[in-house]
Amino acid sequence: MLRIASRGSELALWQANHVASLLEEETEVVVVSTAGDRNRDVPISAIGGRGVFTKEVQAAVLDGRADLAVHSAKDLPSAPELQPEGLVLACVPERADPRDALVGSTLDALAPGATVATGSVRRRAQLADRRPDLTFTELRGNMDTRVSKVPEGGAVVVALAALQRLGWEDRIAEVLPTTVVLPQVGQGALAVECRADDDVTRDALRRIEHGDSRRCVDAERSWLAALGGGCDLPAGAHCTPDGRVRAVLASFDGRIVLRDEIDGFDGATLAERMLDGGGRHLLAEAGVVR
């Protein structure tokens, strides 16, 4: 039996069970509470960034309570120094649609000054670039909580894949094209970790690896790792299966938005080019030392 560590939200359990179905082996889901789940009223950037949804789940694998961990790839830190020793990113199954979606209203239908709820500075900065008249408010909680908090006359922004996985396509007002809002690194993909020395589990996970999805996620993660930032920065990237990597780095108010793209799955080179083109100044303003 393979034991799968997962957060306890409806979406996280869907993801764990999806991986279980792909494995076609006897499995058991081990539910783990994370800092991100316990502090739903605090902005993610204020409680530690991406690691708040992964550390305790990873610990369950490292201490032997579980054999593998299923994460939303967007929650997994990209910087090598933040990756726990003893774990390996064993596989990325086939990716879902990485785009963001609006619930409540389309972007063009929002009246001047309308409120958009989102806990993501990446989404805020890009939407402010497109619609500087909009007002933004914080949004945390599980998916059910978030989609129930549509401001009057406004909208909330969530990951399209999350809505699709929960069967909530009827709540989608608009799917935001990547030309308007680039997604978070790894969005729509699952990242499955196991112990580096667990050959049996690694072999099982190797069978459900999706090559195109893995190459794209690796390229996006290499961009963010080279950038030196996390999810508290207004930063996003998207790689297509043909190797085209497009990325955005912005100021928190959306007044400065740097966009660039490159071929060849080369996220690291793209990051260096964007840093040289003004990115270092934006990172310094955000308090990121590089």
Residue 37: predicted pLDDT: 58
Q: What is the mean pLDDT of residues 181-206?
A: 98
Condensed to tens digits (0 to 9), the pLDDT of residues 98-133 reads 999 999 999 999 999 999 999 999 999 999 999 999
Residue 288: predicted pLDDT: 66
Q: Tell whether the model's pLDDT for residue 221 goes beyond 60.
A: yes
34 in Cβ contact with 55 (< 8 Å)? yes
CATH, domain range 224-285? 3.30.160.40
User: For the chain, what is the mean pLDDT?
Assistant: 91
Q: Which one from 75, 100, 129, 232 is the annotated catalytic residue?
A: 75
3/146 Cα distance (integer angstroms): 30
The CATH 3.40.190.10 portion of the chain extends over 2-92+190-209, 100-176
Q: Which residues of 134-158 are buried (b: 16+ CB within 10 A; e: fewer)?
A: bebeebbebbeebbebbbeebbbbb
Condensed to tens digits (0 to 9), the pLDDT of residues 146-163 reads 999 999 999 999 999 999
Residue type, 160: L
Residue 140: predicted pLDDT: 83
Residue 23: predicted pLDDT: 97
What's the number of CA atoms in the CB half-sphere (13 Å) around residue 180? Answer: 17
What are 51's two structure tokens? 């690691």
What's the number of CA atoms in the CB half-sphere (13 Å) around residue 87? Answer: 28
Confidence of residue 41 (pLDDT cuts 50, 70, 90): low
Q: Which residue has the tokens 């306890």?
A: 8
Q: In a 3-state reduction of DSSP, which class is residue 45?
A: helix
Q: Which residue has the tokens 């909330």?
A: 156
Of 27-36, 222-231, 249-258, least confident by mean pLDDT is 222-231
The CATH 3.30.160.40 portion of the chain extends over 224-285
CATH superfamily of 100-176: Periplasmic binding protein-like II (3.40.190.10)
Give the DSSP H or E segment for 174: strand 174-176
What are 71's two structure tokens? 């994460």
Residue 230: predicted pLDDT: 58
The CA-CA-CA angle for residues 67, 74, 255, to 5°, reads 165
Greatest Cα-to-Cα distance within the chain, rounded to the nearest angstrom = 57
139/2 Cα distance (integer angstroms): 35
CATH, domain range 2-92+190-209? 3.40.190.10
**Residue 108 annotated in active site:** no
Condensed to tens digits (0 to 9), the pLDDT of residues 66-88 reads 999 999 999 998 887 788 999 99
Strand partners, 192: 70, 91
47/168 Cα distance (integer angstroms): 29
CA distances from 279 to 118, 127, 223 (A): 24, 19, 13
Strand partners, 5: 30, 69
